[in-house]
Amino acid sequence: MYSLKTRLIFSIVLIVLVTVGVISFWANELIGDQFNNYIIRQQDLKKSEIVSSLSRQYDRNSGTWNIDSIHSIGMLALYEGYIIKVYDIDNEPVWDAQKHDMSLCSQVIEDITKRMEERHPLTNGEFTSRTFDLTNGGETIGYVSISYFGPYFLNENDFRFLDALNIVLASIGFLAVLLSVLIGFVLAKRISRPILETVDVAMKIANGSYGERIYNKTDTKEIDTLIKSINHLAYSLESQESLRKRMTEDISHELRTPIAILQSHIEAMIDGVWEPTRERLESCNDEVKRLGNLVSDLEKLQKMDSEDLELKKSEVDLSDILHKAVKKFDVSMKEKGLTVSISGACPDVFADSERISQVAINLISNAVKYSKEGGRISIEIFETKDSAGFSVADNGAGIPENELPFIFERFYRADRSRNRNTGGSGLGLAIARSIVEAHGGSLTVESKINKGSTFVVMLPKNSI
């Protein structure tokens, strides 16, 4: 296993090596081809220069050749790798480099051939001869045969240039690799540092330290997204852990109170301290009912969460359901002097009538419990393009803003006093939300302290 930093450095170095290698290869090939073409053009110019110089060595008036000048031209050409033979118009020899200095010509041929075979074997050339016309005033006055290593040959200066070029390319490659290692190290460190920090924090979160957070920011979008995701995960786990602990405490409280009452009452009657009167037995029965209701609520919630939840859907009139639900609280509303209004209308929705009634009863029950004396409850039925629903609003105590994200959690109550007369078991809203979501809808809330709360139920018009 290799670290991210090592992999990044190796990857960058490999990319640079391949890139430099390809560029160097093609640069060498391209420059080599261009240089060879340049040498061929220069040698063609040199041959043309030799022909032009020799053409000027003929005196048309006297019909003679300037042998001394031809000798000078021939020797200069020989030192540059060209062996010439000059003939007059009758193909009679005028001057021959090989006859003049056979050993020097042989040495030139041997040196050039050996140099090209050793240092430029791909040329695969040999000495060849080519004859050119010598003209003066537009008239042919003779011929010259030029022998040279073809298709081209390089002298020592040319090879030194190519060697220098290869050294430059190799140096560039070496510097590029060195620079890539340095850049790769810096980039790998910059990229891997926040990732390693994220991994470290993720490990701590996995071990239960849900309060851990990553505060560093980077200029890499993907890494910033990863950091935000880890922080959000930590926040969610911390919230869930807090809710889990609170739920455990609430369940314990919900069970402890009726069990303690039952235990004390029954022990008192067993010990003869109390007579088992009807009133005391009814008190014990009430506590048993409380336990039964709690278990029933838990069973309902489990069933709501189950994938096997069956909804008996039919065409449902929300207005009818809400009017029936309100009637169930006539006594409670009169005792608190509450007024209630139902307004709006919408088409029938395809839903489970009994379960939607349960949602409406739960929301209206909460509105009645938390409304002030003489308060007002407003129920509005509405529809949108694809949905229909209703809202239940009261002008009661309201819910603190920091409590809103948690009120649909199991056993959660914004009323920290745990007063069962107002707080219930803390499962009602969780059950209501599960029912609505099982229909493919949503249950949301808006609330302000001392101004009241509004719960909104949205249901698909044609949920199947």
In CATH terms, 313-460 corresponds, of 3.30.360.10, 3.30.565.10, 3.40.50.300, 3.40.50.10260, to: 3.30.565.10
pLDDT tens for the chain, 464 residues long, are: 566 667 777 777 788 778 877 877 787 778 878 888 888 899 999 999 999 999 999 988 888 999 999 999 999 999 889 999 999 999 999 999 988 889 999 998 898 888 888 888 877 888 889 999 999 888 899 999 999 998 888 888 888 888 888 888 788 878 877 887 788 778 777 777 777 888 888 888 888 888 888 887 777 787 788 888 888 888 888 877 776 776 677 667 667 767 877 888 888 888 888 888 888 788 888 778 877 877 776 676 666 665 556 778 889 999 999 999 999 888 889 989 999 999 998 888 899 898 899 899 889 988 998 888 899 999 999 998 889 999 999 988 888 888 887 788 766 655 544 444 444 556 778 888 888 888 889 999 999 888 899 999 999 987 54
Predicted local confidence at residue 153, as pLDDT: 85
Q: How many residues does the chain have?
A: 464
Sheet holding 339-344, edge to edge: 339-344, 376-383, 387-394, 452-460, 442-448
Distance of CA 382 to the CA centre of its chain: 42
Domain chopping of the chain, boundaries: 4-166, 217-309, 313-460
CB atoms within 10 A of CB 208: 10
Candidates 343, 377, 379; CA nearest to 457 is 379
Which residue, chain included where needed, has tokens 């008996």?
312
Q: How far apart are the first and last CA of the chain?
A: 52
CA–CA separation, 182 vs 170, rounded Å?
18
Predicted local confidence at residue 84, as pLDDT: 93
Enter the CATH code of domain 217-309: 1.10.287.130
Beta-ladder partners of 146: 84, 130
Predicted local confidence at residue 305, as pLDDT: 60
Candidates 37, 73, 75; CA nearest to 52 is 73
**In this structure, what token pair is assigned to residue 393?**
């609003």
**In this structure, what token pair is assigned to residue 151?**
């298709």
> What b-and-e string marks burial along 259-292, b requiring 16 or more CB atoms within 10 Å of the CB?
eeebeebeeebeeeeeeeeeeeeeebeebeebee
The 3-class secondary structure across 190-259, one letter per residue, is HHHHHHHHHHHHHHHHHCCCCCCCCCCCCCCHHHHHHHHHHHHHHHHHHHHHHHHHHHHHHHHHHHHHHH
Kindly report whether the global pTM for this prediction surpasses the value 0.85. no
**In this structure, what token pair is assigned to residue 166?**
């290869």
Candidates 83, 54, 89; CA nearest to 68 is 54
Contact assessment for residue 136 and residue 102, using Cβ atoms and an 8 Å cutoff: no
CA–CA separation, 438 vs 121, rounded Å?
83
Contact assessment for residue 396 and residue 371, using Cβ atoms and an 8 Å cutoff: yes
DSSP state of 372: P
Enter the CATH code of domain 4-166: 3.30.450
Output the CA–CA distances (angstroms, integers) from residue 454 to 287, 379, 404, 433, in the order listed: 32, 9, 12, 14
Candidates 317, 239, 299; CA nearest to 430 is 299
CA–CA separation, 114 vs 118, rounded Å?
6
DSSP E strand stretches across 83-205: 83-88, 93-96, 126-136, 139-150
Which residue, chain included where needed, has tokens 């509105």?
367
